[in-house]
Amino acid sequence: MSQPVTYLAAFLCGGALCLIGQVLIDRTGLTPARILVVYVVAGVVLGGLGLYRPLVELCGAGATVPLTGFGYNLARGVARGIAERGFLGILLGGVTAAAGGIAAAVFFGYLAALLFKAKPKP
């Protein structure tokens, strides 16, 4: 696939996931926090069933960056952990698969807190 087509697929996939989330916020009584949980669980379930991988291969970052991608990453890590460590992999696989992303989020969040002064909302 050519680079512009890859970018377009990532944009459309990520945009569609965001659109679905916005429609759920606007049209249902679900809170944003519950929608986030639904997205992560959907990523785990679709990843566990092997249905999310084709979307990742087609859309790249458009499928891996949103919360469904985080759930997919957890499911993939658990599957890898079970293959490597057996039953203990159920507990460790998801954590080790997501450790890099979580560490980066904590680090950059801390860096932003050091660089910028937060102001309370009026």
Range of the domain at 86: 3-115
pLDDT (tens, 9 = 90+) of the chain, 122 residues, equals: 788 899 999 999 999 999 999 999 999 989 989 999 999 999 999 988 989 999 999 988 888 887 888 888 888 999 999 999 888 888 888 888 888 888 988 999 999 989 988 777 77
Contacts of 79 (CB under 8 A, 6+ apart): 48, 93
H or E element at residue 33: helix 32-48
- Per-residue pLDDT, 39: 92
Residue 18 lies in a domain: yes
**Using CB atoms within 10 A of its CB, is residue 113 exposed (0-12), middle (13-18) or buried (19+)?**
exposed
> What pLDDT, on the 0 to 100 scale, is given for residue 122?
73
* Closest-CA residue to 63 (of 16, 113, 22): 16
Give pLDDT, residue 95.
84
43 inside domain: yes
Q: What is the pTM of this model?
A: 0.77
- Sign, CA dihedral 38-40-41-45, equals positive
- Counting the structural domains of the chain, the total is 1
